[in-house]
Chains A and B, each alone.
Chain A
Amino acid sequence: QVQLVESGGDVVQPGRSLRLSCAASGFTLSWHGMHWIRQAPGKGLEWVAVIWHDGSKTDYADSVKGRFTISRDTSKNTLDLQINSLRVDDTAVYYCARDGQEGRPPYWFFDLWGRGTLVTVSS
């Protein structure tokens, strides 16, 4: 079954770190660009980060640049998001999503999503 399953969400204090993971099944993660997208409570969807299909490049939203790091483990077929210096406004459901273009740089649309994992930042 082709699916993405996120994990790692938790309640954490401001300033702490957290690592989210996304397990891909039914397809090879390294054939696609992979993204993280988040949705804060009561807010819209916000694109967060991307890693190119070949792992050669990453890119981030300005709001997370310097604090978030996207990476992947091709041997485990997993995507990760390391979040440092967490802020209250990082509170959100975090989704991993597959880029709709296979084997090429991102086309910036998302043809497969996970159900998300909740990160709550609170003191």
Chain B
Amino acid sequence: DIQMTQSPSSLSASVGDNVTITCRASQSMGDFLNWYQHRPGKAPELLIRGASSLHSGVPSRFSGSGAGTDFTLTISSLQPEDFAIYYCQQSFTTPPTFGRGTRLEIK
């Protein structure tokens, strides 16, 4: 199975800040990398698919980049609703696997 390593595991930031979360895969996987947001008590939501394609309805302050083994999720100008847990997930091989998550907290 492909192992996905996310960093940092937690992050404190303020409204208006820019933040970057990284995800590293244990083997090269093209751009088969997806990002999700999970707010407490809510359903997880797809943010980005294929490393950089913004899912329908997702604000443009979210962006993704990377290919091969190294990927990043960037959130520009944090909004209050962005404080949540973020997960990366590979869809290159089965079984699909997730990173352990990055908890984004308000400073």
Contact = CB atoms under 8 A, between A and B. Distances in A.
Interface of A: 3-4, 44-47, 59, 61-62, 95, 97, 100, 107-116
- Main SS class of interface, B: loop
The interface size bin for chain B is 20 to 34
B87 A45 contact: yes
B89 interface: yes
A47 B36 CA distance: 14
B96 A108 contact: yes
Contacts of B94: 59, 108
A109 B89 contact: yes
Contact of A47 (B97, B99, B100): B97
A110 B46 contact: yes
26 contacts: A4-B43, A44-B100, A45-B44, A45-B87, A45-B101, A46-B98, A47-B97, A47-B98, A59-B94, A61-B95, A95-B43, A95-B44, A97-B44, A108-B91, A108-B96, A109-B34, A109-B49, A109-B91, A110-B36, A110-B44, A111-B46, A111-B49, A112-B46, A113-B43, A115-B41, A115-B42
